[in-house]
Amino acid sequence: MAHSGLKSFAGLMARQGILVAFVLFLIAFSVFSDRFLSAENIFSVVRSSAIIGVMALGVTVVVIGGNLDLSVGSMLSFSTVLVVDLHDKIGPGPAIVVTVLATLCLGAINGLLVGVARLNSLIVTLGMLSAIQGLTLIYSGGKNVDIVHQDTTWFKIFGRGYIADIPVPIVIFAICAIVLHVVMAYTPFGRRIYATGGNPTAAVFSGIRRSRVVFATYLISALTVAIAAIVLGSRVMGSQNNVGQGYELQVLAGVILGGTSLLGGSGTIWKSVIGVLILGFIQNGLLLLGFEYYVQWLVTWVVIILAVWLDIAAKRGRLLSPIA
């Protein structure tokens, strides 16, 4: 009976280990802080996690396809500076369109170098991280940008607005997650991404155009960065040149914590959502308990290592090794 129970527990951890960990964290922090599970605090955490979350969705698609995208932080800086700077020059609508197109062009460069030229994605996107940051400084002249008439523009709705008492950033995050979940789980295109990341050679022999699939994943990643930049610019109504610095690490941490394999071919959109929320609630919980900001980074690191180990160990059946 006990052996059967432990097997059931291991099976649950293998399938839903990240979700179980998320629930346990919520319970643990709620014991020590009565504010932690209040509706106001939950909305605040999810809202602040929405920007990282939207970007993590696109990076999840890239990683499932067998590659990495470390350029998203600098890409966020460029896109946010661009949409804010163009807001007063050509209007919010055209500024959004130009920003999306420009960000897609950056994603297309990543896609061409990795998908078509078959260069290493780590090297390419690491180089693009520096190149795009330099492009941002050149474009802005090293100066920060701000929207002049912040109270009268409809642009503020993306970062500060509400729909049925729900913050718009949360709504945007949810819509992006649902759309990409459907694409990845229920469409032939999603299956091609999984096949390309899981076994590129077999995918090619199956008639899948690897270069096109990889190129498309980087366009999706760039699109999510553009959406995140619009939300961030709308929320702050301004932008620093390095506003996206470090975001690539937080995004990748959320993706890894969500169980997406860095080897490709494995992972889900909804688990990346959970991974990002775990990071957000851990940081919020530590803040409510009075810990210093740097403690959040240390605890987050430990949580990521433990979560990844448990996920891998459960999938390989090692959790049962002492009793097998």
Per residue in 216-251, pLDDT (tens digit) is: 999 999 999 999 999 999 999 999 999 999 899 889
Report d(CA 294, CA 115) in Å as an integer.
38
Would you kindly state where each structural domain of the chain is located, as residue ranges?
Answer: 17-315
- Contact yes or no for 18/258 (Cβ under 8 A): yes
Tell me the pLDDT band of 30, cut-offs 50, 70 and 90. confident
pLDDT tens digits along 76-110: 999 999 999 999 999 999 999 999 999 999 999 99
Query: Mapping DSSP to helix (H, G, I), strand (E, B) and coil, where does residue 162 land?
Result: strand
Report d(CA 184, CA 60) in Å as an integer.
10
Domain boundaries 17-315, corresponding CATH code: 1.10.3470
Backbone phi and psi for residue 89, each to the nearest 5 degrees, phi listed first = -90, -45
Which span out of 5-14, 29-38, 82-91, 311-320 was modeled with the highest average pLDDT?
A: 82-91
Tell me the pLDDT band of 323, cut-offs 50, 70 and 90. very low
Write out the E strands in the chain: 145-146, 162-163, 166-167, 238-239
Report d(CA 16, CA 10) in Å as an integer.
10
Tell me the pLDDT band of 32, cut-offs 50, 70 and 90. confident
For the chain, give the percent of residues with pLDDT over 70.
88
pTM: 0.90
Q: What is the pLDDT of residue 294?
A: 78
Q: What is the pLDDT of residue 9?
A: 55
- Contact yes or no for 177/269 (Cβ under 8 A): yes
Report d(CA 214, CA 121) in Å as an integer.
10
pLDDT tens digits along 138-152: 999 989 999 998 888
Tell me the pLDDT band of 34, cut-offs 50, 70 and 90. confident
- Contact yes or no for 233/83 (Cβ under 8 A): yes
What number of other Cβ atoms are within 10 A of residue 191's Cβ?
A: 13
pLDDT tens digits along 162-187: 999 999 999 999 999 999 999 999 99
Q: What is the DSSP letter of 115?
A: I
306 against 51, higher pLDDT: 51
What number of other Cβ atoms are within 10 A of residue 179's Cβ?
A: 12
Q: What is the pLDDT of residue 318?
A: 47
The two structure tokens encoding residue 49: 């996690």
- Contact yes or no for 274/21 (Cβ under 8 A): no
Q: Which residues contact 55 (CB under 8 A, 6 or more apart)?
A: 72, 76, 221, 224, 225, 228, 247, 251
